[in-house]
């Protein structure tokens, strides 16, 4: 038995969760007069995930729904600032975000997530942590050429020139969701149309 395993076991023996002592999700949802859910927007960089989520946040706010937007850059600027972009770090990035979502959902809050989350495996991990019934996968689908044309952050240009390595869509793969709960074609739909499509889908959930 190695030292790290012994330490892990010792630490676990000293952890005593109090999940059964805190107020329930039902109580918090009742206080907020809403149902909580995790919306997981996945798609290439530049597909419109953050734009759609922030517009949706405004529309839900106008309806009295409390939300929290979690965006890739914001999370990496704070909570996950110690992570890079290796496969291992990307997996840990999503794991932490999913655990954060679980906390927000248990507080009755609608969480809007904007993360490339490029593989089926990494999205499956997030869904398992959050819980399948609380996880809505939304594929924000725009062709690579459209995303490159937008390139508001200049990331594709840097990836094409070799300044950024392992960039999804250029030299790292993106696995499109096989069976998303909702697909939004932002290359064909306006922001207003895309937002309405999500709101319509959410009517029965919130």
User: Residue 143: what pLDDT?
Assistant: 93
Cross-strand bridge partners of residue 111: 38, 68
Q: Report the pLDDT value the prediction gives residue 205, as an integer from 0 to 100.
A: 73
Question: From the candidates 45, 117, 119, 194, which is the catalytic residue?
Answer: 117
What spatial distance separates the first Cα and last Cα of the chain, rounded to whole Å?
49
Q: In 3-state terms, what secondary structure has residue 182?
A: strand
pLDDT at position 72: 84
Residue 194, token pair as written in the block: 């895309």
- As a whole number of angstroms, the distance between CA 117 and CA 130 comes to 15
Question: What does the pLDDT read at residue 11?
Answer: 58
50 catalytic? Reply is no
Rg of the chain (C-alpha set): 19
Length of the chain: 206
CA distance 194 to 138: 11
Helix, strand and coil percent figures for the chain, each rounded to 5: 50, 15, 40
The confidence score (pLDDT) of residue 9 equals: 57
Written out in words, the top-level CATH class of the domain with range 23-142+175-202 is alpha beta
Q: What is the pLDDT of residue 2?
A: 60
| pLDDT per residue rounded down to tens, the chain (206 residues) | 565 555 545 556 777 676 677 899 999 999 999 999 999 999 999 999 999 999 999 999 999 999 999 998 889 889 899 988 888 988 999 999 999 999 999 999 999 999 999 999 999 999 999 999 999 999 999 999 999 998 878 899 899 989 988 899 898 899 999 999 999 999 999 999 999 999 999 987 76
**DSSP string of 84-133, one letter each residue:** -SSHHHHHHHHHHHHHHHHHHHHTT-EEEEE----SHHHHHHHHHHH-GG
Q: What are the tokens at 11?
A: 């630490």
């Amino acid at each position: 038995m190695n030292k790290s395993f012994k330490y892990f076991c010792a630490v676990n023996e000293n952890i005593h969760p109090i999940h059964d002592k805190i107020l329930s999700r039902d109580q918090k949802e009742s206080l907020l007069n809403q149902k909580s859910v995790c919306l997981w927007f996945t798609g290439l960089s530049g597909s419109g995930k953050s734009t759609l989520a922030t517009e949706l946040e405004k529309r839900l706010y106008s309806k009295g729904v409390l939300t929290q937007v979690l965006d890739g850059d914001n999370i990496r600027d704070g909570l996950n600032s110690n992570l890079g972009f290796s496969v291992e770090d990307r997996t840990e990035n999503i794991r932490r975000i999913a655990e954060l979502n679980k906390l927000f959902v248990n507080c009755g809050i609608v969480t809007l997530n904007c993360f490339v989350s490029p593989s089926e495996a990494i999205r499956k991990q997030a869904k398992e942590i959050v819980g399948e019934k609380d996880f809505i996968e939304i594929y924000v689908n725009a062709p690579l050429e459209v995303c490159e044309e937008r390139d508001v952050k200049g990331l594709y240009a840097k990836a094409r020139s070799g300044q950024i390595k392992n960039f999804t869509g250029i030299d790292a793969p993106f696995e499109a969701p096989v069976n998303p709960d909702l697909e939004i074609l932002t290359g064909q739909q306006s922001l207003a149309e895309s937002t309405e499509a999500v709101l319509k889908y959410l009517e029965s959930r919130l």
